[in-house]
Structure 1
Amino acid sequence: MEAYFAGDQMVTLSSKISARILSHSLSGLNKGNICVRFLASSYRHLPTSCRIHHSFSSKNKRHHLKKMSLEGPSITMDGESEPENVSNQNVPIEREGILPESDSDEYDNNGSNGDVTNEAIIDVENSAHNDTRAPPTPEKTSLAIANDAGQQLSGLQPEDLVDMIRNAEKNILLLNQARVRALDDLGSIISEKAALQGEINMLEVKLAENDARMKVTAQEKLQVERLEDQLEKLRNELVERSRIGRNESDMYKDHGYPSRKEDSTSHLSIIHSHVNEDHNHPLYQLDSSSYQSSMQSLNLELRSLRNENELLKNDVQTLRDGLNRVKITDEHVMTLEKERSYLESALKDLESKFSDSREDVSDLFNLKFEHKKLVEKVANLQVMQDKATKQAERAISELQKNQELWKKVDKLEESFEEAKVYKRSSEKLQQYTELMQQKINLLEDRLGKSDEEIHSYLQLYQESVQEFQDTLNRLKEESKKRNLHDPVDDLPWEFWSQLLLMIDGWLLEKKITAYDASVLREMAWKREGRICNAYIASKEKSERDIISTFLGLISKVPISPGLYIVHIAAEMAPIAKVGGLGDVVTGLSKTLQKRGHLVEIILPKYDCMQYDRIHDLKALDFVVESSFDGKQFKNKIWVGTVEGLPVYFIEPLHPSNFFWRGKFYGEPDDFKRFSYFSRAALELLLRAGKKPDIIHCHDWQTAFVAPLYWDLYAPRGLNSARICFTCHNFEYQGTAPASEMASCGLDVQQLNRPDRMQDNTSRDRVNPVKGAVVFSNIVTTVSPTYAQEVRTAEGGKGLHTTVNLHSKKFVGILNGIDTGAWNPAADTFLEIQYSATDLLGKAENKSALRKQLGLSHANSRQPLVSCITRLVPQKGVHLIRHAIYRTMELGGQFILLGSSPLSHIQEEFEGIAKQFEHHDHVRLILKYDESLSRRIYAASDMFIVPSIFEPCGLTQMIAMRYGSIPIARKTGGLNDSVFDINDDTIPLQFRNGFTFANADEQGLNRALERAFNHYRSHPVSWQELVQKVMNLDFSWDSSASQYEELYSKSIARARSFHRT
């Protein structure tokens, strides 16, 4: 009966739990009361009553089985072997929001007796009847309560608020009672759980005993099977012997011997003797008379054991079901504990809000009292105002009367004075008449004399004017003669670039000689007035007349005032920009041009360039042939001006259409494309007769220029230049099989050597960047810190040994930005332009961008963090992702602008963008948009650059130019341009942002937290910091002067070498 007793206890416990859960419902929340909603527990958490089958002891079971075996093999069992299914319809749930107040008085707490008298009334919002979602968080509940309260308080009277507070007190009392009952129930549930655990332990012990019995039964079964086998053998032997005995009996009868029946005694004696000989034979222990009874008892025992085995299996299954129900009970207990914690948190929130509401009520009572006083004062003032108004009206009427009287008095006085004057004038009128006649006579005499003087003065004036005109004409002639050789500074660089391109076009088309072109180019280079006047005067003439006019200006060649620099590059902003390389080529060239140097740029003619940004683009009637793959291919030459710079575009007439692919990089044959372009660019310089002082090439795409120049073109006469190579990122080296280098005409056998172009990690590959480092006269990179990093194995990406070997010609120069192009005071993309002295426009741009992107703009002081970057591993994408969530935790807003060429990173951020698609504080724009980037720079308070490595970086400089404070990792160019405001080792005037050293989330967290604290705690200091970073000079002037020095030293060394 132990199992039945345990089952009864479980049934009783389950009914108690159900009754206590379902009987404790909350009521009394009505009208405008603050409604705390609780989610209903799902049906899978409700306890289920179950029965456990009666478990017999081993002795009783065997006795019971033996008894049943006499009646038949079938076994009938009372009760159910499976637990009862719980129907959802057995649990009443009402979906009503609140209960009337009258129901709170009828609350019944009789759940302990197992009878459920009250139905659980639970408010469940947006859930199905099987919903298992967790209850709303306390933060959301508090927010909902605050919003509802804020909307209702504006129209409430103090009396209504007092009623609401009283109702809230009742609700809090009910919640406290429910909390006490829940705690009591939980205590009883825990104790009952402990009792259940004890029962479970007892059942496990019994299960172990049953397992032992089953093992003994199995052994007995095996023994019975062996006995059955021996019995079968004995039967067969007895049958055989009985057959033999019959045969012998017949034989005895035939010969007169005694019959078989007579000889049975002797036959039995023989059998017994045979049995006695075999002590293991079953007949040794059983005689023939007891054999049948023994077999019958064995069969009964076997049948009982089988039945007992079946019962044991059923008991095991029942125990397992009981364990599952216990687990369900544990889960339900955990759910109750969670609900209890949730109730406690909700109760705490209600208590805090109740205390706040008491304070508000007291304030309201004070306000009501003050309101009454103010109403009385207003009434008194109204009465006084009415009196004063009446008095003022009477005073105004009196004043008007007085004014009218005064006017009449004034008129009378004026009339009296006029009468006096008239009287006096009539007396002296005669005297005046005589005197006037005398004066008239004198004036006539003087008028005659003055006419004569005026005539003489007029003659003198005419003579002086004629003399001044002659002098002015003479000065104009002298100034005109003098200005023919003076520079003209008031014309834009586009004018002079167009003039230079026109002269080069005449030379390439063989319309003028190389000498004439060099002299005319020198005049344009020096911006002489005579060539400017000649070009303006002959602009409407034919080309032949223009050439004749220009050739008439030729005289001795003056000494050049600057250097002739040619940039050969794969990018140029804004027409062909992928990364920072394009900005560097344009910014450095413009600055060198302003400093008096002749600068030209050679680019591939891509089909995907921004042609609308190229001025006066035209094709020359001139074709350059270059060798590639052992064949000669023609190249069409185009000229135009970009940002005031003269640019040559090379269009290869090659069947592979090298630069008509719809993109700049990323083609499988990039090595061939850019090696072809490098050779065609040098061929253009040679055929055009140009003699540059510096040929400046950039990155691996034009690194072929250095070995091509010294191996193929210097021997052919293009030998005036020194080669400068700038590597903007050692991550990209353009390595390829050595055999591909032969296409552009380079000697593979000579250059595929460890000391030349052979890649340091693979002997059968060549490295263009290594070749440029070896063959260039000047090697630079884009920041001093990055120059130190690439000398290490980690930063050099395999080229650190080569860089260290050529360290004397290797230097790092920090890039600049085009401060004219990036200027918030003149940026037409912005909502409002602003400057460091007027920051109101920055706040307005912030508000406008928030509205444009659909972000919350309620709090103008909420910090806005932004990031504009390519989403590649180098830029620290994991830190960017972390910054989005950390910014939200700190109470800020985040904007990301950029895309990734890597599909898995792009897909990851597309998922994040979809997650925050309608968020109030986060927006991800996964593309590049220049106009939007400028608005983001202007609107941001902070700008993060968490790069793993960064050769230079321009975004942090642009951000500071627009007044956005950088948060950057200390690496590469970031370490040379962003200095922490708390770093005492840096002079105070250079501290301009927040930095962190390690590329991990902890370092970024600390930097963000420091920035947010400074922004919120020190607004005045933050404003001063914004003004400081906007006034920092990140222009190209400093960088250009360093390049000038490198150029000049290299040229001086070459000239001194040639002299020796």
Structure 2
Amino acid sequence: MSANLSTYFFSHGCCSLSNSNYKNNKVDYSYKMNLNMRLLFLPSPRFLPAFCKTRQRNLSANHKRQRGKEPPSERIPIRAELQPIGGEETEPENSVINGVEMEHFVNHETNCKDEDDIMTDVEHIDGYNLGILSVSAVETNGNVEHTDEQIVNGLLLPAMTKALAINIDGGQELSNVQLEDMIGMIKNAERNILLLNQARVHALEDLRDILGEKETLQGEINTLEMRLAEADARIKVASEKKIHVELLEGQLKKLRNELIARGELELYENQNKLLNEEELLARDSYVHSLIKEVDTLRTENLALNDDIQALKSMISNVTDTDERVTKLEKESSLLESSVKELESKLLVSQQDSSKISTLKDEYQELWEKVEILQHSLDKATKQADQAILVIQQTQDLRNKVDKLEESLEEANVHKVSSEKMQQYNELMQQKIKLLEEHLQKSDQEIYSYVQLYQESLEEFQDTLNNLKEESKKRTTNGPVDVTWEFWSCLLLTIDGWVLEKKISNSDAKILRELVWKKDRRIRDAYTGCKEKNEREVISTFLRLTSSQASSGLHVIHIAAEMAPVAKVGGLGDVVTGLGKTLQKKGHLVEIVLPKYDCIQYDGIRDLRALDVTVESYFDGKLFQNKIWVGTVEGLPVYFIEPHHPNKFFWRGQYYGEHDDFKRFSYFSRAALELLLQAGKKPDIIHCHDWQTAFVAPLYWDLYAPKGLNSARICFTCHNFEYQGAASASELASCGLDAEQLNRPDRMQDNTSPGRVNPVKGAIVFSNIVTTVSPTYAQEVRTAEGGKGLHSTLNSHSRKFVGILNGIDTDAWNPATDNFLKVQYSANDMQGKADNKAAIRRQLGLSSADDQRPLVGCITRLVPQKGVHLIKHAIYRSLEMGGQFVLLGSSPVPHIQREFEGISNQFQSHEHVRLILKYDESLSHSIFAASDMFIIPSIFEPCGLTQMIAMRYGSVPIARKTGGLNDSVFDVDDEAIPLHIRNGFTFVTPDEQGINSALERAFNLYKNNKQSWKLLVQKDMNMDFSWDSSASKYEELYTESLSRARAAASST
């Protein structure tokens, strides 16, 4: 049944198909016809053959089963000596063809032994053995080299073609003997292919025998299963008969008891003795026969069980055989593909051999042309040398002429200057006389002025002395101009001492007030204690404590974002921008953030962990929180790292988790716990968006009764689209009473009674409620814009106000922006043109027309931003002769795919480019390069891109909604004062609306350059800083605190 297929291999140098291991180097090859080649060129025209030995190794001996009736294994006859492709034997020497060395066409050079020992393994499979093309091991002195590509691609013909090319380059001709050797090699390859086909036929016959044996085994298995079923049935009948006999015995006992009760026992016994004896005999014989039959069945059952175990082992062997058959079928298909590939390569090699004869004639023609060109080159070289000599002579003459002309000009100039000097001397003498007369008069006037000066100098000296005395008094306790990073670091140090219980809350309050006022004494004390230990530093600071009057507000922002360390949207910019501006106005500003694992640590200075943990309540337990401190953009920041098993802020992203409600309700309570344990008494606690909206109800319900009661709560909602509503039961995790708060006048969601709305809770429980622009504040009080909260906002309208956000004018400043190729300002606009040219080169846009307007757009591609209008603006700008650049991506899959299609459409277009990702550096360049900037939002709470665009001299084209309506004013709207008209606006969110604004902008740009330039300069000079916005927040803070103090004093 089993058959062994001998291994065939081709040999010249070493040409093989291999799946086994090299004997020494253990190089593993697959069945994918990896071909190794090695060429040795010898002095003789013959090639070196390979000496082959074969051995057989049974790889499946552990799996073989013995069967008595199995016929003996048949083996396919093996040809011990295949004809080598290379031809006759020659000495193994390095050869030179016609005196020129040919390079080996292999990957690495190596020195081979005189004899290659090639071993072939044959795998034996149960019931069937298939020979596998392989080459086992090549014993070498050096490294094994292999080149798969060359033998596959043409059976040595490409290599011979390269050798022929080298011979032609040296002027030699190919030997006819080598061509004959190549033809012999091709014939030997054809013979080897025939042998492979015969081996494939034998393998298919063995495969059919295996399938027949498999069917026979399946029939035996079916017969044994039937016998097993019959035995089970007989055992079941015997058990039923045994149960019947037991029932009869029970009935006999019952009858006997009845006869005894009736007094008829003796008669019954006499009458039934004979009957009982007969029945007992009959029953004993019957029971005896049943017992024998049961024993017989048991023995048969045991025998059947043994047969079943044997069958199971046979079935497992059959399963292994199936797997092997499947493997062999795959290997057979691989062999077929390999044979076909060899046949195709053979045809290619035959075609290439016909081309070799034509190379001689081509070489002769090329050689003649080279000789002609060489002759022409010699003539041209001689002519060039002569021309160079002539040029050098001409240049020498020209230099001499130039020197003569310069000498003549110098002589003429000297002559003219001498005449002018004489005239000048005469005039100077006349002026000297006049000056002497004036000098006498002026001496008298100067004397009188000197007297007046001396009198005024004495008065000035007295005034100066007075000012110095006042200055000394002021500098003793006055503020010092030191960086905000210094004061923030000092403040964080004081707070760390409080949390670590090293100083009292009252002392900390006094020291904080000294920091607020930038007192010189605390600055000097801090700098003078750098080399002292902490105990000495604390004692030095405590000596400074005395009653001080606070001059500013203490504001603490609790937020989920802060630019640039944890930024997703505009919220992070607001926290940083507003905080820095309030700090510059003399207020103490602190920030509390979660410590995300994805936070940008490069933006944090002096980050360190405090030697204290803050415990906060959640889900009925107390969890520890590690507190980190550092400064960001000069602001002191506290980072809370929860030690909670759910790892709330170690998720690799800021938002978008399934348990965001729990994550941020936990953070809100932990932040308030930090303020309580640190002994802080802030004036304002400012929370932002739904993530920290929990602060308002937590503060009034839980922490004000504990003593943290000095602050007013300010809540800012940056986008009412996101409200964080969740099931009311989840509110209990952070310690709030869900039953009390899930009411229509508190936190119950207006559209779903079973859910609570954090934003609604913040509106109800906060003292101040703001949003990011006045227009948006009006829009959210309508049913369409309020997203379900319009009724709540209208009920609390007295404390609700819209304040337009600002931008960080330090970060967004074209005069200092390091991302730009060229910095520029409103007074020097050339840099804007240079940046426009640079972005065109960077993105591959056409620079043929410098005056072609460039329209920019930087946005998230979401429906809120008017993506259908952005798409229309691309095509419309192109139609009107403009260029368009879009930077942004979409979290909505179908929108992203749609814009990827548009990007592919314009991939090689000279006027349109779409970059579907966010790139900070590229965004700065687009703001600086664009002439117009389009913002067609369906709704926009505030928007910052229009302000940044104007800061960089890009005129905005925006829809009148939200913050866009409060910052972009149409140049053609006569109802608006002229000095604040700064862009082009439209109302209806459709193609007609955006077309009208685009057409007016293009018309002004192309037809009135001067007006356009004035408009750009006006936009760049407009003030969109945080100063005015921060002043409005400052006013709201102060009014709220005044009302609270008035209410407290009246009670």
| Cross-structure match for 1:506 | 497
> How many angstroms apart in 2 are the aligned matches of 1:1045 and 1:404?
77
Mapping of residues 555-954 of structure 1, within 5 Å: 555=546, 557-954=547-944
Instruction: Call closer, same or farther: CA 1:717–1:889 in 2, change over 3 Å.
Output: same
2:538 aligned to 540, 547, 561, which one? Answer: 547
One-letter amino acid of the structure 1 residue matched with residue 514 of structure 2: M
Supply the RMSD in Å over aligned alpha carbons. 2.6
- Contact preservation (8 Å) 1:485, 1:530: yes
AA in 1 matched with 2:541: F
**Relative to 1, partners in 2 of residues 1:856 and 1:750: Cα closer, same or farther, differing over 3 Å?**
same
CA shift at 1:474, angstroms? 14
Tell me if the contact between 1:704 and 1:772 (Cα under 8 Å) persists in the aligned partners: yes
Change (3 A) 1:400 1:751: closer
Distance of 1:936 and 1:621 partners within structure 2: 47
| 1:1042 to 2:1040 alignment | no
CA distance in 2, matches of 1:395, 1:686: 92
Change (3 A) 1:992 1:400: closer
CA contact (8 A) 1:849 1:935 kept: yes
After superposition, give the CA deviation of every residue in 1:643-676 in whole Å (9 maximum; x if it has no partner).
Answer: 0000000011111111111111111111111010
Corresponding residue of 1:964: 954
Check 1:747–1:982 CA distance in 2 against 1; reply closer, same or farther (3 A cut).
same
Q: Does 1:526 align with 2:486?
A: no
Q: CA deviation at 1:914?
A: 1.7
How far 1:404 sits from its partner (Å)?
13
Cα 1:473–1:846 change in 2 (3 A) is same
Note the alpha carbon deviations across 1:774-805, whole angstroms, 9 max, x for none: 00000011111101000100000000000000
Give the deviation of 1:560 after TM superposition. 0.7
Q: Distance in 1 between matches of 2:615 and 2:948?
A: 42
Distance 1:996 1:535, change over 3 A: same
Q: For 1:228-239, what aligned pairs fall within 5 Å after superposition?
A: none
CA distance in 2, matches of 1:626, 1:610: 26
Give the match for residue 200 of structure 1.
Answer: none
User: Which among 982, 986, 989 is matched to residue 979 of structure 2?
Assistant: 989
Normalized against structure 1, the TM-score is what? 0.55
**Unpaired runs of 5+ in structure 2?**
1-399, 417-463
CA distance in 1, matches of 2:469, 2:723: 61
Distance 1:402 1:749, change over 3 A: closer
Q: CA deviation at 1:483?
A: 2.4
* Deviation for aligned residue 1:901: 1.3
Alignment match, 1:488: 480
1:932 Cα offset (Å):
1.1
* 1: CA distance, partners of 2:609 / 2:697: 29
Alignment of 1:68-83 (within 5 A): none
**Equivalent-residue separation in structure 2 for 1:718 and 1:392 (angstroms):** 92
For the residue of structure 2 that corresponds to 1:1043, the secondary structure is: helix
- Mapped to 2, the partners of 1:855 and 1:694 lie a distance apart of 52
Structure 2 Cα separation of the partners of residues 731 and 1016 of structure 1: 40
Q: Which amino acid aligns with 1:535?
A: Y
> In 2, distance between residues paired with 1:592 and 1:481?
28
Would you say how many aligned residue pairs link Structure 1 and Structure 2? 605
Query: How big is the shift at 1:473?
Result: 14
Does residue 1:517 correspond to 2:508, yes or no?
Answer: yes
Q: Following the alignment from structure 2 to structure 1, what is the Cα–Cα distance between the partners of residues 836 and 961? A: 30
Q: Which SS does the other structure have where 1:484 is aligned?
A: helix
Q: Which one has a bigger Cα radius of gyration? A: 1
Matches of 1:788 and 1:613 in 2, distance apart? 37
TM-score (norm: length of structure 2): 0.56
- Which residue type is aligned with residue 655 of structure 1? P
Equivalent residues of 1:625, 1:683 under 8 A apart: yes
Distance 1:896 1:579, change over 3 A: same
Q: Encode CA deviations 1:68-95: one digit per residue, 9 max, x unaligned.
A: xxxxxxxxxxxxxxxxxxxxxxxxxxxx
Distance in 1, Cα, partners of 2:1032 & 2:957: 28
Cα distance between partner residues in 1 of 2:750 and 2:946: 34
- Name the aligned partner's letter for residue 552 of structure 1: R
Whether the aligned pair in 2 keeps the contact of 1:865 and 1:887 (CA below 8 Å) is yes
Residue 541 of structure 1 deviates from its aligned partner by: 2.3
Q: Which amino acid aligns with 1:511?
A: K
For the residues of structure 1 that align with 2:518 and 2:402, how far apart are their CA atoms?
80
The CA distance in 2 between the partners of 1:733 and 1:806, in whole Å, is: 17
1:1016 aligned to 2:1006? yes
Letter in 2 for 1:483: T
Q: What residue number does 1:44 align with? A: none
| Unaligned stretches of 5+ residues in structure 1 | 1-389, 407-471
Q: Do the aligned partners of 1:785 and 1:973 also contact (CA within 8 Å) in 2?
A: yes
Q: In 2 relative to 1, CA 513–888 (structure 1 residues): closer, same or farther, beyond 3 Å?
A: same
- Distance of 1:959 and 1:400 partners within structure 2: 58
Judging changes above 3 Å, is the alpha-carbon distance between structure 1 residues 545 and 761 closer, same or farther for their aligned structure 2 residues?
same
State the 1:548 CA deviation. 2.1
Cα offsets for 1:652-707 (capped at 9, x unmatched): 11111111111111111111110100000000000000000000000000000000
Deviation at 1:399, TM superposition (A): 10
* Cα distance in 2 between the residues matched to 1:500 and 1:393: 76
The corresponding residue for 2:364 is none
Amino acid in structure 2 at the alignment position of 1:537: G
Paired letter, 1:553: L
Counterpart residue number, 2:488? 497
Matched, 1:1005 2:982: no
Q: For the residues of structure 2 that align with 1:963 and 1:611, how far apart are their CA atoms?
A: 33
CA contact (8 A) 1:483 1:530 kept: no
Counterparts in 2 of 1:396 and 1:929: CA distance versus 1, 3 Å: closer
**Structure 2 SS opposite 1:958:** helix
1:996/1:483 CA distance change after superposition, 3 Å:
same
**CA pair 402-753 structure 1, distance change in 2 beyond 3 A:** closer
Instruction: Return the alpha-carbon distance in structure 1 between the equivalents of residues 821 and 803 of structure 2.
Output: 35
Separation (CA, whole Å) in 2 of partners of 1:792 and 1:399: 87
The answer as to whether partners of 1:484 and 1:528 remain within 8 angstroms in 2 is no
Asked if structure 2 preserves the Cα contact closer than 8 Å seen for 1:601 and 1:648, the reply is: yes
Task: Give the letter aligned to residue 528 of structure 2.
Answer: A
Deviation at 1:540, TM superposition (A): 2.5
Aligned pair in 2 of structure 1 residues 655, 1013: CA closer, same or farther (>3 Å)?
same
Counterpart Cα distance in 1 of 2:590 and 2:626 = 18
2:477 match: secondary structure = coil
Deviations 1:818-870 (A, max 9, x none): 11111111111111111000000010011111111111112111100011111
In 2, the alpha carbon distance for the partners of 1:838 and 1:391 equals 46
**Runs of 4 or more off by more than 3 Å in structure 1?**
390-406, 472-482
Deviations 1:618-651 (A, max 9, x none): 0001111000111111111000000000000001
Deviation of 1:509 (Å): 1.1
> Percent of aligned pairs with the same residue?
75
Structure with more of its chain in helix, by fraction: 1
| Residue aligned with 1:795, SS | coil
